[in-house]
Amino acid sequence: MVNRMQFYIDGAWVDPVVKGKSTPVVNPATEEAMYEIALGSKADVDKAVAAAKRAFETYSQTSREERVALLTKIVEVYKGRMKEIGAAVSDEMGAPLPMAEKLQAGAGLGHLMNTLEVLKKYEFEETMGTAVIVREPVGVVGMITPWNWPLNQIACKVAPALAAGCTMILKPSEFTPTSALIFAEILHEAGVPKGVFNLLNGLGPEVGAAMSEHPDIDMISFTGSTRAGVDVAKRAAPTVKRVSQELGGKSPNVILDGADLTKAVTGGVMHMFNNSGQSCNAPSRMIVPLSKMKEVAAIAKGVADKTKAGDPRADGTTIGPVVNRGQWDKIQALIQKGIDEGATLVAGGPGLPEGVNKGFYVRPTIFADVTNDMTIAREEIFGPVLTILGAKDEADAVKIANDTPYGLAGYVSADTVETARRVGRQIRAGNVNLQGMPNERTAPFGGYKQSGNGREWGRYGLEEYLEAKAVAGYNAA
């Protein structure tokens, strides 16, 4: 039975310092509250930070071999809880159950395993002249994670922090707390030393703010909206702590003349609708040759018509609901804005899908003839809503792609890989995928511009949690 009314601090499950503060967790498919979770306060943050600070004195001195053994055990225990994690994610944020078990829970396992392999080979010291450069753990890390890919974001922060020798405090999203609490149980069973990993639930304006401002937290790793990321950075500034952020996106999907149109458009629409459009790197702006707009719209509509929004636990469901009423209302307003501003509604539109009378379901929606000054082309919608924009030529496509305050991801499909490479190099984004290839988990993930300033995954993810110390004269004769 998952313990939802306590926090995991200093190796034990403990009551909140201030008791009686809680919030319901609502199933987005039914709109019904499933249970309550305890909410923390600044006092709980202080308690967790003190535990992490004490633990850092010893955990930071552990050997590579000790950390390899610890991560190996975490992977082993995690594998036995994947179905449980998938069920929790499905219930709390609406992902179809098979997708939640395979991709949501699987993403967490993938990051744990990848970090383990990086740790086995990483060079923590190098020689430069008479100096030795030593990479040491940054210290106590505050982690704030979102609800859309909960285990992906928890694992790609916790795993490298453990590998680096850091200690940490995690505040998961209050909308998806159960998978995080299971993760705490996994770490406890695997033998993570007390105080190294701490978890408390709470709201951003209280617990998140206290973490960002805390003088004994050396680094904040934040994933969420750009608006919230700005607030975190402002609060962290007076203590000059490191702030690593993975924020919003409005990623271009450039499909050039000569590309396999059916394959590229079909793949792009399916990718956009995956996870009900609730991915920061979703290819939400499809940029196509103006002359192909009608053909592209027809292909896209065919995909939307086959995309079934429904019960996450029912056979045949393609996408589940969005996470909560607030998100649903925002998406509905933006769909209406697209209609009002003159975009062509190709599929979907406002309201609930046909045959659905409750739940935060959004009709799979496609707009064509979108211009880059329209609201639906500028703002991150974070739902199953695709905008299709026309470009006069390759140069115009690149210009439109880069005309955004975001820079998390970009996608390019072309007649040849050489063309895709040339265009991909011109896109101002931290991740560019060519010819339909998925992300490489060993490569860095993160954004340019208002999409953030840090990198996660693989070696780059580990180095986010390390300081470089130069010791001159170490190798002097």
**What's residue 370's pLDDT?**
98
What pLDDT, in 10s, does the model give residues 53-72?
Answer: 999 999 999 999 999 999 99
Pick from 103, 42, 117: which is nearest to 75 by CA?
117
**What's residue 206's pLDDT?**
97
Residue numbers of the chain with a pLDDT score lower than 70: none
pTM over 0.85, yes/no = yes
**What's residue 8's pLDDT?**
98
Pick from 473, 442, 469: which is nearest to 139 by CA?
469
**What's residue 1's pLDDT?**
75
The catalytic site residues sit at 246, 280
**What's residue 454's pLDDT?**
93
What pLDDT, in 10s, does the model give residues 288-310?
Answer: 999 999 999 999 999 999 999 99
